[in-house]
Amino acid sequence: MMVDGAKVADDVEPRTLLVQYLREKLGKTGTVVGCDTSNCGACTVHLDGTSVKSCNVLAVQADGGEVKTIEGLATDGVLHPVQEAFRDCHGLQCGYCTPGMIMQSVALLEENPTPSEAEIREGLEGNLCRCTGYQNIVRAVKQASGQTEGVTA
């Protein structure tokens, strides 16, 4: 499969989860695991162009597919606008949910480039954050969509 633009090949046990493969075999530890019931979304990556929870996909199911993780989001050292907006709007605190939250936000904006606040909130309902109370995340997504909110502290 392709992961963050690089072709990779390994033999894995069928039971290996995609997230395990990314972390343990490829060292892509930017993608993390937060739960075991697919509620938290911390492990969200893109598989063949759409967001999925990588704890809820077997690595063998992604065979031949294209995976993008948080580590492949910036291009040539330039942050993706969503990454930039998360920093600018203080959309993270401990940062553990952040990779999944950013990857889902990117997918959301690809499907709906100018979402309303309600659409952002619903679009991120599969990603849990315990620190921020979500408000600054919502603002970051809005800002990244070009619907500038302006940061008010």
Partner 1 sequence: MIPAQFDYLAPTTVEEAVSALAEHGDEAKIIAGGQSLLPVLRLRLNAPEMIIDLGRIEALRGVRDDGDAIVIGAMTPHAAVQKDPLVAEHAALISRAVDHLADAQIRHRGTFGGALAHADPAGDLGAPAIALGSQFVIAGPSGTRTVDADEFFVDLFETAIGEDEILTEVRVPKHTGWGAHYEKFVRVAHQWPIVAVAAAVRAEGGTIAEARVGLTNMGNTPIRARAVEQALVGQPATEEAVAAAAAHATEGTNPPADLNGDSDYRRHLAGVLTRRAVLAAAGA
Partner 2 sequence: MTTLEDRPDVAPEIGRDRRRKEDQRLITGRTRWTDNITLPGMLHLAMVRSPFAHARITGIDTSEAKAATNVVGVFTAADLGESQGVLINAWAITEDQVTPTHLPMAADRVSFAGEIVAVVVARTQAEARDAAELVDVDYEELPAALDLKKAAADEVLAHPELGTNKSAFWQFDSEGAGTGGNVEAAIEKARTDGVVIEREFRQQRLIPAFMEPRSTVVDPSGEQITMWSATQIPHILRFALAATTGVPESKIRVIAPDVGGGFGGKLQTTPEEWLTFCLANRLGKPVKYTETRSESLVSAHHGRDQWQKLTLAAEKDGTVTGLKVDLLADLGSYVSLVGGGVPVLGAFMFNAIYKFPAYQFNCQTVLTNKTWTDAYRGAGRPEATYGIERIMSELAAEIGMDPIELREKNWIKHEEFPFTTVAGLEYDTGNYEAATAKALEMFGYDELRAEQKRRREAGDTVQLGIGISTFTEMCGLAPSRVLGSLNYGAGGWESATVRMLATGKVEVVTGASAHGQGHETAFSQIVADRLGVSFDDVEVLHGDTQIASKGLDTYGSRSLVVGGEALVKATDKVIEKAKPVAAHLLEASVEDIEFSAGRFSVRGTDQGLAIGEIASAVFTAHNLPDGMEPSLDSEATYDPINFNYPHGTHLCAMEVDTETGAVKMRKYVCVDDIGNVINPLIVSGQVQGGLVQGIAQALWEEAVYDEAGTLVSGSFVDYLLPTSADTMNYEIDHTTTPSITNTLGTKGVGEAGTIASTPAVVGSVVDAIRHLGVNDIQMPCTPERVWKAIQGAGTGGPATEGAAMPHFDTDEAGTASTEGAGA
Question: Contact residues for partner 1 (CB under 8 A)?
Answer: 13-15, 17, 20, 33, 36-39, 41, 44, 47, 50-53, 55-58, 60-61, 104, 107-108, 122-123, 125-128
Structure tokens at 93: 């605190």
Write the CB contacts of 53 (distance below 8 Å, at least 6 apart in sequence).
38, 41, 43, 44, 100, 126
Pairing of strands 44-47, 50-53: antiparallel
100-119 binders of partner 2 (CB under 8 A): 102, 117
State the minimum distance, in angstroms, from the CB of residue 146 to partner 1: 21
26 backbone dihedrals φ, ψ, rounded to 5°: -95, -10
Nearer to partner 2, 37 or 50 (CB): 37
Rounded to whole angstroms, how far apart are CA atoms 43 and 55? 6
The 64-103 contact track toward partner 2, x by CB under 8 A, reads -----xxx-xx----x---x--xxx-x-xxxxxxxx--x-
State the minimum distance, in angstroms, from the CB of residue 40 to partner 2: 6
